[in-house]
Amino acid sequence: MIRQFVSNYVAELKRAMDLIPLDKLEQTIEILIDAYETGHQIFIMGNGGSGATASHFVCDLNKGVRRGKTKRMRCICLNENMPSILAYANDLSYEDIFVGQLENFLEKEDVVIILSSSGNSPNVLKAIKFANQKSAHTIAFTGYKGGQVAVLAKISIVIPAEDVQKIEDIHLILTHMIMQIFQKKTGNE
């Protein structure tokens, strides 16, 4: 039973990985390189497991990309500042935990990346709508059929899987790929 489960799990991951829209992945990397070169900020967010991936991605971009360089990425993970999150959730609503922070810092041409398996969480939808109004670059990593956030984002990378864990696995793989490609393209190996 265990071997069959593992075999099926890996086969589903491979199937979904083969369907990744590589053109959108390439566009995402180009936007991140432009933000790096122009000094624009990158805001990354997610709920639950996607929030953990968002934190990991920010760490990889802020620390991993800088090896041997003085130039730095300007990445902020919006699900890490618990006092701010709790204040927005308590005083306004949980839907405002990300948009409230963006209202303080987001500028035109900054980058907003949303990680969401379903693509339908009200707090990420509110954040992406605000980011679009502010002329930011909006990128969504989602799963299933993409959800509403995939429609709203200027770039959507939808993982065609029907299992949250597989979607989250692939999101983490993609963020690692992005970091390593970014290192190569910017000479930060």
Count of structural domains within the chain: 1
Q: How far is CA 136 from CA 4, 10, 92, 107, 144, in A?
A: 45, 36, 24, 7, 25
88 lies in which domain range? 2-186
- Phi, psi angles (nearest 5°) of residue 81: -90, 85
Top pLDDT among 20 and 68 is at 20
CA-atom Rg of the chain in angstroms: 16
Predicted pLDDT at 67: 64
pLDDT above 80: residue 110: yes
> Residues 102, 133: contact at Cβ < 8 Å?
no
Predicted pLDDT at 71: 76
Predicted pLDDT at 8: 95
Query: Could you tell me the CATH number of the domain that includes residue 11?
Result: 3.40.50.10490
Predicted pLDDT at 63: 84
Q: Looking at residue 95, what DSSP letter applies?
A: G
User: What does the pLDDT look like over 64-99, one tens digit per residue?
Assistant: 776 666 778 899 999 999 999 999 999 999 999 999
Can you tell me the mean pLDDT for 176-187? Answer: 86
pLDDT above 60: residue 189: no
User: What does the pLDDT look like over 127-175, one tens digit per residue?
Assistant: 999 999 999 999 999 999 999 999 999 999 999 999 999 999 999 999 9
Can you tell me the mean pLDDT for 102-129? Answer: 97
